Amino acid sequence: MKIPNLTYGIHTLITAPEINNDLLWALSTFFVFLALLYFLSVFFLRNKISSNASRIKQRKTELSPMVSEFLFYEDDADKIEKSKYIELKIEIRDLLREDFNRKILAQILLDLRKDVSGDTQKRLFKLYQDLGLEKDAFKKLESWRWEVLSKGILELTLMQVEEAYPFIVTFINYRRGTIRKQAEIATVSLKSGGISYFLDTTTYKISEWQQLKLLDVLRNKEDFEPPRFRAWLTSTNTHVVLFALRLIKFYNQNDANTSLIELVKHKDRQVKQQAIDCIKEFHVTQALPTLKGVFPKCTVDTKLAVLGAIAELGSTSDIEFLENVSQREGNFSVKGKAVGAINTIAPESIMPTKNIEHIKVYPSQDIDVGEVEKKAIEEDAADQEQARVGPEIDISGEHPVPADSESGPKDNQIKHKDPIVIRKEMANPKKSGKSLKEIKIEVEEVKAASPDDTHSAEASNFDISEIHFLPIVVAETEAISNGKMTDHDNAIDNESVRAIEVRHDEIFSDPMDEELQALITEINELDFLPVVIDDETLSDAESSDALNLDALEPFDTIEGYSLSDFEVSFEEKHDADAYREGEQVAFNLEDAPIIDIKNPNVEDAMSWLMADNELRKIELNYETVPYPSDAEFPNKLIPEPVYYDDHETYMMGLLDDLEELGDLREIPLLEELRAEERKGFIKERIAGMIEKFSRERAAKRKSNSNTDIETANLPVFSVFADLFKSIDTECKLILLDEIVPVGDEKEIEFLDGLLQNPDQSIRNKAQTVLKLLIEKLSHENPEALYSKRVSDIVAEHGVSKIVGGKATNEMDLEEESFGHLLSELKVSPAMAPEILDIDFELCEILDNHYDQKILEIPVISTEVPFDANGSSLFNSLRKFSKLFF
Amino acid sequence: MEKKKLLLAEDDQLLASLLTFRLQKGGYEVQLSANGKQVKEYLAEHTPDIIVSDIMMPYFSGMELIAFVRKELKLQVPIIIISSAGNEENVLNAFELGANDFISKPVSPSELLVRVARELNKN
């Protein structure tokens, strides 16, 4: 019986997909296999990891005592310990051959580094390097995997391998943040100067956390001397500026106040706030105007910081600004901070107003200042307060304490200028519930009245009791008549005091008085000058009252005036004798003409002065100088403006530039410009410039000839000479071969020297090379062979015949004859001969088999020598013509 | 001269090994215990001259060890606490429970040696 396929049979009605059973089995098997593989791999890996961990642990247990032995080994150990130490050394050397052991040792040392400190830690660092474990860390720096690289940097940093510093600093601007941060800490940690290098070079952001870590590294660094961090306040990296500000604050470097003030204006909010913090910390009061200036544009946080700084640094002059802020500012916090700042500067300037209940205030009349309380005050004041605050206390004016109060000694009486007012609560401390010490004393300063007020106060309202704080000085005569001189005698009533003439005698020499006396003396010495009086005062001046010297008397008593404040009058003198004798100043005010300032009469004044100074005999001629008319006068003086057209402006600008920057090379251009130019003044200028540059050229030629002479006298140096010293014979021979293609005239002398070399092969080679070099130079640069030294050598070695051009005697003769020919024909070359120096080669050999007809012509066949030295066209032609004639 | 017995309770094997080596070299007989359980077992049978203990240990913390020694065993053995958690609260707790000294990690073995000697000299 066939079993129906249940998959199809039962589920046919519910549209199940038709899946092949074989496929299902295959998939099931596959997933079971995957699961098994997974479990097996997990099992395998777990076992491997755990076995590895146990192996590491085992090895650590084995190696850690060895590390301890190495760490605490002392040189003065006993024999057994020493032998044990040597055995350990041998053992560890073997262990270090395996990477695994090296890794474990490094791990042990790194773990211990975290747990130990002091001398043991230093020994640990030394041991790390002694075992050569830092080499593995250096290898990690070369890894392309960032985590390995990071581990390497960390390891070298923790073990303080200073040699790694130059390698690690290269990672400061690494693209991956983790490496960068690791490198930053390493840079700062490994060297004291690392922080400077880091701040100089970093271009990336320094996070807040990183800043804290760096600060921690610096703080824990031994013998760290912080640099002046103000140097980095100018950095273009805002984060560097911010970090520098924090470091400045941390190390209290208050030498960057100006920069700090400038940084308050920084666009970055954090920098701004940090600068404000520093300003507050270092109490930079000069920053107050800047703080106020930046305030309106700041954010709320910065505003709060600014207000905090103003509260700390400000004075009463800043209260107005703070009041404005408290009134205009919308933000509650800022407003509150401003009010707080006002109260910080002037405590309790602003009292609480919100939610304050109105209570009935006791009227002042209710307070009864009785005799008992008054006495108590006096006693307390005498015992405690008076000595501290001042000698005299006035209780609100209602109950004045007499000046001659018995409570105080007479010596201390009424000498205090500032009356001290005590409130009524002080008068009755028991009622107010406060002790006398707790009561605040308000001291009101009485400002000095102006001089005008003083004068007016001297009138009938004057009361001696009002100036009882001043010492009363009585005229001597009156004092004598009274028989005694007392400052304050209560027996003297007000009436009698009023009758007394009061004078304020100066106890000490007043500098103002001395100054005034000097001023008066000075004015008296000026009596030779004419008296100049305004029109308005003319009539007064004429009156004798105005010229009364008595008017000067008030000067004796007026202080604080300058010369300009005084109206000076001179006493009219009638000393006829003095005038007759003509001695001293011949000044007579009566004779002096009164000069009207508004309508001066110069002639009168001059005549008078000359008359008074006995210069009558000199005749004065007053010449009238005719002035040009108003229309002509200014036009002649002011030069007429010169207007250039576009071309002129361009040319003048060009010539300006050429004149300023150009030299003799501009002459052709200038000549061209002159030829094209039509404007006369431009042509003149160009001509001037050409002349100037020509002079320069002449001067330069002269100086060049001098320089050539000097150069010629200098010793010649060959680069081959140095190389020749340190090589063997074979290399020397090779080097000599190289001289021909690359050498120049400098080598000739060197080669000449080699001709004396003990080695025969070098001598021969040098000889050959010398000849070849001379040949080469005679073609390429014959002038180089003219120098005295070289030409001697050339002559010595008989190579003059192969030298072409002007160098040979033969050629000189030819040129000479050619010169004669030119002179005979009365022909002169149109241009400089060097222009005609064309490389002309006549190397073709006349072939005897060339053409029979031509060959039949009787020609003296000869070979033109190779002449590639640039002999002139005329010479070549001349030589060629000689062949036929 | 008999060596002073020192109980070192430290779970960090490397540090324990290092300190043991240094203290042994300093002339002490060191008993190392890696956890609180071992400490308890040792103290049940022996009385050391001084105890040097870490705070954080398996089974039995350093604080509990102090309380155990002072309150249960009623021993006045000097106890020096070593801890990386050297905050004020831990230090005060340790002293309140009866610790004689407190050293923060990283520890200097030489310094520990001096402190141990000082505590022993006090007694």
A607 and A522, same domain (yes or no): yes
A135 in Cβ contact with A155 (< 8 Å): no
CB contact (8 A) between residue B14 and residue A111: yes
Query: Which residues have a Cβ under 8 Å from the Cβ of A156 and sit 6 or more positions away?
Result: A134, A137, A138, A141, A164, A168, A186, A190
Question: Pick from B17, B106, B110: which is nearest to A65 by CB?
Answer: B17
CA distance A157 to chain B (A): 17
CB atoms within 10 A of CB A376: 16
Q: Which CATH superfamily is domain B7-105 in?
A: Response regulator (3.40.50.2300)
Please write the tens of the pLDDT for every residue from B73-91: 999 999 999 988 778 888 9
Please write the tens of the pLDDT for every residue from A258-313: 999 999 999 999 999 999 999 999 999 999 999 999 999 899 999 999 999 999 99
Q: In the structure encoding, which two tokens stand for residue A156, read together?
A: 């070298």
A516 and A608, same domain (yes or no): yes
A707 and A721, same domain (yes or no): no
Confidence check: pLDDT of A204 > 90: yes
Q: What is the pLDDT of residue A826?
A: 55
A421 and A455, same domain (yes or no): no
Residue B105: list chain A partners with CB under 8 A: 114-115
A191 in Cβ contact with A162 (< 8 Å): yes
Q: For chain A, how many structural domains are there in total? A: 6
A470 and A488, same domain (yes or no): yes
Q: Is residue A170 part of a domain?
A: no
A728 and A780, same domain (yes or no): yes
Q: Which residue has the tokens 């032609």?
A: A877
Pairwise CA distance, residues A770 & A785, whole Å: 12
Domain limit, last residue, from A612, A636, A654: A612
Among B11, B14, B22, B52, the strongest candidate for a mutation testing the A interface, having the largest count of A CBs within 10 A, is B14
With an 8 Å Cβ cutoff, the interface of chain B facing chain A consists of: 12-15, 17-18, 21-22, 25, 105-111
Q: Is residue A859 part of a domain?
A: yes
Residue B15: list chain A partners with CB under 8 A: 112, 115-116
CB contact (8 A) between residue B109 and residue A120: yes
Q: Is residue A390 part of a domain?
A: yes
Q: What is the pLDDT of residue A770?
A: 85
Q: Residue A117: closest CA among chain B residues belongs to which residue? A: B108
The boundaries of the domain holding residue A575 are 511-612
CA distance B103 to chain A (A): 12
Confidence check: pLDDT of A337 > 80: yes
Kindly report which listed range (A5-19, A129-143, A220-234) carries the lowest average pLDDT score. A5-19
Confidence check: pLDDT of A195 > 60: yes
A212 against A486, higher pLDDT: A212
Please write the tens of the pLDDT for every residue from A684-742: 888 888 888 888 878 777 766 665 555 555 555 677 777 777 777 777 888 888 888 88
Name the DSSP class of A394.
Answer: B
Q: What is the pLDDT of residue A743?
A: 81
CB contact (8 A) between residue A61 and residue B110: no
A350 in Cβ contact with A343 (< 8 Å): yes
With an 8 Å Cβ cutoff, the interface of chain A facing chain B consists of: 60-61, 64-65, 67-69, 71-72, 108, 111-112, 114-121
CB contact (8 A) between residue B106 and residue A121: yes
A201 in Cβ contact with A173 (< 8 Å): yes
CB contact (8 A) between residue B14 and residue A112: yes
CA distance A124 to chain B (A): 12
Q: Residue A111: closest CA among chain B residues belongs to which residue? A: B14
**Pairing mode of beta strands A420-421, A442-443:** antiparallel
Three-state DSSP at A825 gives: helix
String of DSSP letters for A669-737: HHHHHHHH---HHHHHHHHHHHHHHHHHHHHHHHHHHHHHHHHHHSPP--HHHHHHHTS-HHHHHHHHH
A470 and A436, same domain (yes or no): no
What number is the ipTM of this complex? 0.90
Pairwise CA distance, residues A827 & A824, whole Å: 8
Of these ranges, A424-438, A537-551, A712-726, the one predicted with the greatest mean pLDDT is A712-726
Question: Pick from B105, B110, B111: which is nearest to A115 by CB?
Answer: B105
A548 and A594, same domain (yes or no): yes
A683 in Cβ contact with A677 (< 8 Å): yes
Domain limit, last residue, from A564, A595, A612: A612
Q: Is residue A234 part of a domain?
A: no
What is the largest distance, in Å, between two alpha-carbon atoms of chain A? 179
A341 against A713, higher pLDDT: A341
A260 in Cβ contact with A278 (< 8 Å): yes
Please write the tens of the pLDDT for every residue from A48-85: 999 999 999 999 988 998 999 898 888 888 888 888 88
Beta bridge partners of B103: B82
Q: Is residue A381 part of a domain?
A: yes
Give the ranges where A781-829 is alpha helix by DSSP (H).
788-796, 809-825
A540 and A608, same domain (yes or no): yes
Confidence check: pLDDT of A33 > 80: yes
Domain boundaries, chain B: 7-105
Three-state DSSP at A406 gives: coil
Confidence check: pLDDT of A478 > 60: no
Question: Pick from B12, B17, B108: which is nearest to A120 by CB?
Answer: B108
CB contact (8 A) between residue B17 and residue A71: no
Q: What is the pLDDT of residue A834?
A: 46
CB contact (8 A) between residue B106 and residue A117: yes
In 3D, which of A148, A160, A150, A146 has the Cα closest to residue A109?
A160
Q: Is residue A558 part of a domain?
A: yes
Burial of B62 (0-12, 13-18, 19+ CB in 10 A): buried
Angle made by CA atoms A347, A349, A351, in degrees to the nearest 5:
105
Q: What is the pLDDT of residue A506?
A: 44
In 3D, which of A160, A164, A61, A51 has the Cα closest to residue A108?
A61
Domain limit, last residue, from A657, A690, A712: A712
A427 and A469, same domain (yes or no): no
Confidence check: pLDDT of A621 > 70: no
Q: Is residue A605 part of a domain?
A: yes
A133 in Cβ contact with B36 (< 8 Å): no
Q: What is the pLDDT of residue A85?
A: 87
Pairwise CA distance, residues A784 & B47, whole Å: 105
A842 and A771, same domain (yes or no): no
Q: Is residue A250 part of a domain?
A: no
Inter-chain contacts counted by CB atoms under 8 A, chains A and B: 57
